[in-house]
Amino acid sequence: MKVFSPILACLALAVVASHAALSPEQYWSYKLPNTPMPKAVKEILHPGECGGVNVNTGKGKPGGDTHVNVGGKGVGVNTGKPGGGTHVNVGDPFNYLYAASETQIHEDPNVALFFLEKDMHPGATMSLHFTENTEKSAFLPYQTAQKIPFSSDKLPEIFNKFSVKPGSLKAEMMKNTITECEQPAIEGEEKYCATSLESMIDYSISKLGKVDQAVSTEVEKQTPMQKYTIAAGVQKMTDDKAVVCHKQNYAYAVFYCHKSETTRAYMVPLEGADGTKAKAVAVCHTDTSAWNPKHLAFQVLKVEPGTIPVCHFLPRDHIVWVPK
């Protein structure tokens, strides 16, 4: 009678645990068994019928190329104010190399998310608008994402695979995301653009070692801009090291992740004027000396780079990873 050895069992488990064998949810459970999946990730894994991308792997066809069709709201753009025309936002407020434009300072709802650490205490009030991103692109499976180019020198091929017309708004949005991903990191940080949930998990573990928490901002319901009061129970999750991942506008889910050694992360309970409750993730940057002097945060808060910690709440589809 043959005996199934423990060594063979371990080898079999390793094979089963490969990217190809596991769904994104299973891969999360395997790599992060004690870390609950944040709501933002769950929503991107299951964005609903109106969003996401349809993938044709081309099996059985000549050439066998992977082809991806943008479906429904798979690619989103900011339509601006009524009558104001449609435009692609350039200048991600969470990319600290960018200078803010006058339009962004006056119209970007993310302006309200920036604040000073000294103002984060129970009883403090802030006018906030936790917008819901209408761009509902979903994660692609790791194996599919790995086969699709993601670089500026491959843009014609990318547009062809996604049936996107060069020069269109969708094309400009995708080009902007790739350009941001290809820029060098600011001094003191490391960056990476994850094109699948599995690669985001792997990057976070590689930079933090053991992950304690992966969290996102949660709001009971969508509300307009209103006053929120900080309630008791502000929790500091990390005092220095963290990986923060910001969802980008793209045909499928892409996250711009950066690891910093000068970051404090908090979970902040909030209560809106209309009674809406929120658990907001706040990130405070203790060293902003390498940021663009005209970054949105400095213009809104009237402070200089490198002088005082700058904080911001994370939008609902962004994630912070903190180590044990």
pLDDT at site 16:
41
State how beta strands 226-230 and 53-56 pair: unpaired
Q: What is the DSSP letter of 104?
A: H
* Neighbour-count burial for 32-58, b at 16+ CB within 10 Å, e otherwise: beebebbbbbebbbebeeebbbebeee
pLDDT at site 143:
93
Both tokens assigned to 232: 């008791």
Extents of the domains making up the chain = 111-323
Residues in the chain predicted with pLDDT less than 70, given as ranges, are 1-20, 47-112, 133-135
CA pair distance 182, 278, nearest whole angstrom: 34
pLDDT at site 234:
95
pLDDT at site 189:
80
Closest by CA position to 203, among listed 181, 173, 170, 186: 181
